[in-house]
Amino acid sequence: MDQNLEQKARKIRLDVLKMLYECQSGHPGGSLSCVEILQALYENVMQYDAKNPKWQDRDRLVMSKGHACPTLYAFLADKGFFPREELWNLRQYGSFLQGHPDMNKCPGVDASTGSLGQGTSWALGYALAGKRQGKDGGREFKVYCITGDGESQEGMVWESAMAAAHYQLDNLTILFDHNGLQIDGTNDQVLARGDICKKYEAFGWEVIVVDGHDVNAITEALKKPSAGKPRFICCNTVKGKGVSFMENQVGWHGKPMNQEQYEAACRELEV
């Protein structure tokens, strides 16, 4: 991987860990697994204006796995939507960095999420609006939605999958953070969904599988020309990526770090 990209990913991960350590709550595992997905979007793909976060023509990002918002916040700060020092107020009283993203509080957040399964419907609605704007002579903006894999157990995800294909929303892309773990165990232990890619294909989506920690591969999948239908990118990831003792550990879904663990994690990433 490109050295600059890797450096940036390390920096973001360190920010995420500090945010989570400071507030002694939050979700390290799923925040660390989606770093490169957000990196591809913010560094290479999305159109946005940090000085005008509500710019009507911007691409929309829906963080459906809202519990992983520390990573989103870290990128927003990095891109200048707000000062980096604000990150250390995550989950504190009065902070605009809520435990799950609040679009009315945090600049750059396009949807208030956290209730799993709803993000894909938010993205569907935005994609319909993007098509409408394009038809009315404006920019047909693109819509990206990052979902968790456990989240696909919500029935509403499939309601929106059906509707997106029906309305031929080729301006909509789901990035599926496939780390395989959820609170109570592996996806297969909790509620096996079978082959997610075949399911989305059957629903009428274009499906692409990538290494979810390879920014260039994710970027390439995102930039592929339209196939005339919504796109599902299955990003194979590692929960807790970058911190050896968190990787692939169910227990690190939503556990605070003690000082020793925090320092050990930082040492690994600062190398």
Question: CA–CA separation, 24 vs 132, rounded Å?
Answer: 43
Indicate which single residue of 128, 165, 209, 266 sits in contact with other proteins (rule: CB under 8 A).
128
The reply to whether 137 sits near other proteins by the rule CB under 8 A is no
Q: Which stretch binds other proteins (CB under 8 A): 41-49, 123-131, 201-209, 219-227?
A: 123-131
162 binds other proteins (CB under 8 A): yes
Query: Binding to other proteins by residue 1, rule CB under 8 A?
Result: no
Residue of 121, 152, 187, 237 that binds other proteins (CB under 8 A): 121
- Looking at 44, 89, 95, 133, which residue binds other proteins (CB under 8 A)? 133
Residue 92 or 115: the one with the smaller Cβ distance to other proteins is 115
Smallest separation (angstroms) from other proteins to the CB of 112 = 4
HEC profile for the chain? Answer: CCHHHHHHHHHHHHHHHHHHHHHCCCCHHHHHHCHHHHHHHHHHHCCCCCCCCCCCCCCEEEECCHHHHHHHHHHHHHCCCCCHHHHHHCCCCCCCCCCCCCCCCCCCCCCCCCCCCCHHHHHHHHHHHHHHHHHCCCCCCCEEEEEECHHHHCHHHHHHHHHHHHCCCCCEEEEEEECCEECCEEHHHHHCCCCHHHHHHHCCCEEEEEECCCHHHHHHHHHCCCCCCCEEEEEECCCCCCCCCCCCCHHHCCCCCCHHHHHHHHHHHHC
Shortest spacing between CB 102 and other proteins, in angstroms: 8
* 156 is an interface residue for other proteins by CB under 8 A: yes
- 163 belongs to the binding site for other proteins (CB under 8 A): yes
For position 165 contacting other proteins by CB under 8 A, the verdict is: no
Q: How far apart are CA 250 and CA 262, in angstroms?
A: 18
147 binds other proteins (CB under 8 A): no
Q: Does 56 bind other proteins (CB under 8 A)?
A: yes
The C-alpha atoms of residue 111 and residue 63 are separated, in whole angstroms, by 7
Query: Binding segment for other proteins among 16-24, 102-110, 209-217, 228-236 (CB under 8 A)?
Result: 102-110
- Closer CB to other proteins, 117 or 242, in the complex: 117
- Taking the least distance from each CB to other proteins, the nearer of 7 and 56 is 56
When asked if residue 47 is in the footprint of other proteins (CB under 8 A), the reply is no
Instruction: Give the interface segment with other proteins, choosing from 13-21, 101-109, 241-249, 254-262 (CB under 8 A).
Output: 101-109
Count residues binding other proteins (CB under 8 A).
Answer: 29
Closest CA to 130 of 143, 119, 118, 120: 143
Per the CB < 8 A criterion, the answer to whether 31 and 71 are in contact is yes
- Interaction site with other proteins (CB under 8 A): 56, 102-104, 110-112, 114-115, 118, 121-126, 128-130, 132-133, 155-156, 159-160, 162-163, 166-167
